[in-house]
Amino acid sequence: MGERNSNSSVSAATRKIRWRAAGVALSLLAIAGAYWSSQRRAGERLVRADPTQILEDPALLQRALNLGRPLYQERCASCHGAALQGNPARGVPNLAKNAWLYGSDPVAVEHTILYGIRSGHPKAHNVTDMPALVRSGQISADDARDVVELIESWAGVPSDSAMTERGRAVYYGKGNCVDCHAGDARGVTDYGAPALTGPTWLYGGDRQTLYQSVLNGRHGTCPAWIDKLTPLQIRSLTLYLVSTSANAPTITRN
């Protein structure tokens, strides 16, 4: 009898522990469910909201940054660098301090991430690229050196005045550089034509590199991510890039 009562007491205690454990498990599940539900709602808000307005919402922006930071390191840093500094050897843009070819607002940046640049996607940026002005015969090698001298003068580099004057005639005349790079040489985002005034350059701002650009042309590309990332990932990456670029360290001439 005593043994039976002892077994009954143990059984009751065991059942009590099990019920408590089950209660704790249910509470944890409820907490987890609430958490994931809130995360899902936050994700939906990120995708549905105007990306420009998200920049003014600290909580939602932080959510985007938390998602976008590791995505950048995984998908973009191999080309653009860990600190968005780009790679002049490959013509990868320096994204620090909003040095964007097609515009720095979130909508423009998101379009580039979605469809790429000369990526083969029908919605990619592919209106124009840098032609081989010398090899095509449009201008001579001497013309190219003169226009490079003009560009260097615009960037604040001591330059030969006679060459810059001849270069000016090439830039606004037979070279037709003004059509893409604009009259003030600050570039045209509709075409993705970069500024020619420094301090940042796609392929480097020294005379030889600039001459190679005029001689052979440039045809940079960026892949389309629309089929590789989810809408939430693309939106988060966009906001991470825009926010980080705007607060990046001061860039220097390269």
| pLDDT of the residue at 134 | 98
Q: Give the helix ranges, DSSP H, for the chain.
A: 2-48, 51-54, 58-75, 77-80, 106-115, 141-154, 161-172, 178-181, 207-216, 231-246
> pLDDT digits over 186-199, tens only?
999 999 999 999 88
Q: Could you identify the residue written with the tokens 């615009």?
A: 154
Question: Within a domain: residue 167?
Answer: yes
Q: What are phi and psi of 240, to 5 degrees?
A: -65, -45
Percent of the chain with pLDDT over 90: 69
37 occurs within a structural domain: no
pLDDT tens track for 148-179? 999 999 999 999 999 999 999 999 999 999 99
Looking at residue 127, its pLDDT comes to 87
| Res 10 pLDDT > 70 | no
- What is the predicted pLDDT for the residue at 2? 52
The pLDDT of residue 250 is: 44
Residue 203, in any domain of the structure: yes
Specify whether 157 is located in the same domain as 207: yes
Residue 27, pLDDT above cutoff 60: no
Tell me what the mean pLDDT of segment 33-43 comes to: 54
Residue 234: pLDDT over 90: yes
The yes-or-no verdict on residue 12 having pLDDT over 80 is no
Give the domain range for residue 194: 141-216
pLDDT value at residue 254: 36
Q: Which residue has the higher pLDDT, 18 or 212?
A: 212
Average pLDDT over residues 82-111: 89
Q: How many domains does the chain have?
A: 2
In this structure, what DSSP letter does residue 139 have?
Answer: S
Determine, yes or no, domain membership for 13. Answer: no
**Structure tokens belonging to residue 167:** 């270069």
Does the pLDDT at position 8 exceed 70?
no
Please give the backbone phi and psi of residue 193, each rounded to the nearest 5 degrees, phi first: -85, 120
Clarify whether residues 114 and 225 are in a common domain. Answer: yes
Residue with tokens 């958490």: 35
> Residue 218: what residue type?
R
Residue 58 counted as domain residue: yes
The answer to whether residues 121 and 228 belong to one domain is: yes
163 and 111 belong to one structural domain: no
Q: pLDDT at position 96, please?
A: 82
Summarize the confidence of residues 88-96 as an average pLDDT: 90
**101, 113 contact by CB (below 8 A):** no
Q: Do 189 and 205 belong together in one domain?
A: yes
pTM: 0.79
- Indicate which CATH number applies to the domain containing 154: 1.10.760.10
Same domain, 172 and 227: no
Amino acid 128: pLDDT: 86
If asked whether residues 194 and 79 sit together in one domain, one would say no
34: pLDDT confidence band, cut at 50, 70 and 90?
Answer: very low
- Start-to-end C-alpha separation, the chain: 92
Do 242 and 123 share a structural domain? yes
